[in-house]
Amino acid sequence: MRRLILISSRANLLPPFQFQTLTTTAVTERPPPPPPPPPPDEATVRQTLLSFNNDWKQALEFFDWVEESHSHCNFRHSSDTFNLMLDILAKFFEFDLCWHLIRRMHSRASSPPNHTTCRVMFKRYVSAHLVQDAIDTFHRLGEFNLKDHTSFSHLIDALCEYKHVVEAQDLVFSKDTPVDAIGNTKIHNMVLRGWFKLGWWSKCNEFWEEMDRKGVQKDLHSYSIYMDILCKGGKPWKAVKLFKEVKRKGFQLDVVVYNILIRAIGLSEGVHFSIRVFREMKELGINPTVVTYNTLIRLLCDCYRHKEALALLRTMARDGCHPTAISYHCFFASMEKPKQILAMFDDMIESGVRPSMDTYVMLLNKFGRWGFLRPVFMVWNRMEQLGCSPDAAAYNALIDALVDKGLIDMARKYDEEMLAKGLSPKPRKELGTKLLGGESADLLDSSSQSTIQTHNVPLV
């Protein structure tokens, strides 16, 4: 009996022992190596770079990493992704790094510098008011076989876009210009648009008449620019009159000139006349664009006709137009209740429209100006959740709201965060930052400072 029990006990111990041995053997076997990751999609790379648009160090780190980590599948950045990285670097005045990237592009046959590269550099130099550097860049383009009329047009366009139209005009009509500007309609349109950007209405009128004296053949784009000048210059009825002249001249009308007409006639005669023009345009077979709808939505919102504007927003898709961030900006600008604005903001995100940085800055400024901190932080937290890196304007809007409420410690924290990212904060006396004169502002008494939790901000 005792022997039988012993045999039975050994029998019970055997299966676990066998199972443990098998398990150990299976663990010691090395699993097969995972397959190498597939090459990244260019659209994904672009979207990731755009998410780092306000943090050039992280953007550059990702830019280099994605190429090095996928070298096994011969992934190389295209000219498009190089140009996007250039734009981010130049935004933070990292022009030396930009030229390093351009030389990298030039060394590769698959991603050489192109005219978009030139346009990015011109735009960033001129927006930083480094006009001479932009002109010097044009002269350097001979190294890359890009010193031609197209690049010169990009240079003039950048100068006019960023209100350096005086320099553009001097460059265009000088003896050394590589483009024959006499009678060149495209160049004259750029200069006319430059005066428009500058808001110098009398100079716009003078240049318009000068084009006639020079015998410049005005095209539909010329008339569209001048109609816009009249509309923005406070004379929308003259823009409507000019449109009638354009029709008499027999131009083939397009959606651009109709968009300006809808805006002009809405300002001069009322939004119901704009809707009538909108229907007329569609009957002529001219398809509306997003700009068309945004113009009508803005006119309706300016009259506080939000229900009609919202109905128009819902019907855009039927014409193949999808709302943009600007479509929602029209609502945000005219609404006066925080809950209504936040509901519209949530609707914007849920409908698949990605807020732009201008969206966040607009809402932060509006709520901060009203003194409502809770919606300020709701917008800020949503921005971070969506992976957007705040720019200087967003930081300044948040800091201003905190300073107005006396939350100096928290404001100083975000001010220091700005500096760490290479962004330029505004000089503020409350924070003791340097003023323009170089003198240090007085600090507030530390006893009056207080801190606040992001999730517990009163709506007052």
User: Which has the closest alpha carbon to 56: 102, 115, 25, 98?
Assistant: 98
Report domain extents, the chain: 73-218, 220-280, 366-460
What are the structure tokens assigned to 163, written together? 């209100």
Q: What is the pLDDT of residues 3-43, one digit of tens each?
A: 433 344 444 433 443 444 444 444 456 677 666 667 788 89
What is the full per-residue pLDDT of the chain (460 aa) written as tens digits? 444 333 444 444 334 434 444 444 444 566 776 666 677 888 999 999 998 888 899 999 999 999 888 877 778 899 999 999 999 999 999 999 999 999 999 999 889 999 999 999 999 999 999 999 999 999 999 999 999 889 999 999 999 999 999 999 988 887 666 666 655 899 999 999 999 999 999 999 999 999 999 888 999 999 999 999 999 999 999 999 999 999 999 999 999 999 999 999 999 999 999 999 999 999 999 999 999 999 999 999 999 999 999 999 999 878 789 999 999 999 999 999 999 999 999 999 999 999 999 999 999 999 999 999 999 999 999 999 998 889 999 999 999 999 999 999 999 999 999 988 888 888 888 887 754 344 444 433 333 333 333 333 333 3
Q: What is the pLDDT of residue 261?
A: 97
> Which secondary-structure segment (H or E) carries 45?
helix 42-51
Please give the single-letter amino acid code of residue 431.
L
- pLDDT averaged over every residue in the chain: 85
DSSP string of 400-455? HHHHHTT-HHHHHHHHHHHHHTT--PPP-TTTTPBPTTSPBPPPPPGGG-----TT
Alpha-carbon distances, residue 411 vs 353, 388, 406, 433 (angstroms): 30, 20, 9, 12
Buried b (16+ CB within 10 A) or exposed e, 45-59: beebbbbbbbbbebb
Q: What is the pLDDT of residue 320?
A: 83
Q: What is the pLDDT of residues 126-180, one digit of tens each?
A: 999 999 999 999 999 999 999 988 999 999 999 999 999 999 998 888 766 666 6
SS3 state of residue 116? helix
389 phi/psi in degrees, rounded to 5: -90, 120
Percent of the chain with pLDDT over 90: 70
The gap from C-alpha 150 to its chain's centroid, in whole angstroms, comes to: 24
Q: What is the pLDDT of residue 8?
A: 43
The gap from C-alpha 313 to its chain's centroid, in whole angstroms, comes to: 22
Q: Do 283 and 320 form a contact (C-beta atoms < 8 A)? A: no
SS3 state of residue 371? coil
Range 73-218: architecture per CATH: Alpha Horseshoe (1.25)
SS3 state of residue 162? coil
Please give the single-letter amino acid code of residue 426.
K
Q: What is the pLDDT of residue 15?
A: 43
